[in-house]
Structure 1
Amino acid sequence: MLRTILKSKIQKAVVTECNLEYSGSITVDSDILDAADIISNEKVQVVNLDNGKRIETYVIPGVKDSGVIGMNGGAARCAMPGDRLLIMSYVQMETKDALGHTPKIIYLSNSNKIIDKK
């Protein structure tokens, strides 16, 4: 049986921009994506720690080392610059593999710099 398991989590990303006129998605600094093992167009769940909203969208890589976390399109209505987010990706795997799986957790500073990895 396949189970859906947390693959990666970016902890306390701070929204730097909102672009309602963009077609959709969340833009994330490429360095952060690499550390979290999240690729372009991968589906993610985004939880806004400041207003409680949860959405699903896909990722667009942002400029490396820019600290960008941008909510685009309809997602821009779910956050404001300065809001803190959790960004999570999931993977499906067999139970036997899931039991030994450890997700990647990336901790960010208030300026979206990586401060710890687990």
Structure 2
Amino acid sequence: MRRTMLQAKLHRVKVTQCELDYEGSCAIDDDLLEASGLLPLQKIDIYNVNNGERFSTYVIRAERGSGVISLNGAAARKAQNNDILIIAAYVEVEEAELPGFAARLVYVDGQNRIKSTASEIAVQPAAGWGKAAE
């Protein structure tokens, strides 16, 4: 059996530009690509935190250290500059590979610079979660 697993996530990156008259894609700072393991031409899903849009496109490389997250072509209609995005990629994993499998999660600051990385999502309980009912 194969399962579709989260391979990589860029968490809460900020859109730096939208280029409608450009071949469709998402340009991502090469530092973020390296940290996440995303590759040019790889399919990605984008979740816009500001407006709820969810769409797919592919990666192109942006200048290392630039902080660029550029939505190009039709994708430029799905966000505005300064919108907050979650960019995710998924991979098919054989059941036998699951014990050693780990996602690559990248967390950024307000300028799309890497703050931290992780291999699993830390669950933060909601207020009151786990308390016995009175």
TM range, smaller chain: over 0.9
CA contact under 8 A between 1:19 and 1:72: conserved in structure 2?
yes
TM-score, normalised with respect to structure 1: 0.97
Structure 1 position 96, deviation (Å):
2.3
Aligned equivalent of 1:116: 116
Aligned equivalent of 1:77: 77
Structure 1 position 90, deviation (Å):
0.9
Aligned ranges 1:1-118 → 2 under 5 Å: 1-118=1-118
Q: Deviations over 1:91-110 (max 9, x none)?
A: 11111212442211100101
Per chain length, whose mean CA-contact separation is higher, i.e. which structure has more relative contact order (CA < 8 Å, sep 6+)? 1
- Percent identity between the two aligned chains: 38
When you count strand as a share of all residues, which structure comes out higher? 1
TM-score, normalised with respect to structure 2: 0.86
Higher Rg of the two aligned structures: 2
CA contact under 8 A between 1:5 and 1:98: conserved in structure 2?
no
Classify the secondary structure of the residue corresponding to 2:85: strand
RMSD: 0.8
CA distance in 2, matches of 1:25, 1:98: 30
Any gaps of 5 or more consecutive residues in structure 1? Answer: none
CA distance in 2, matches of 1:61, 1:34: 10
Q: Deviations over 1:68-93 (max 9, x none)?
A: 00000000000000000000011111
Counterpart of 1:11 in structure 2: which amino acid? Answer: H
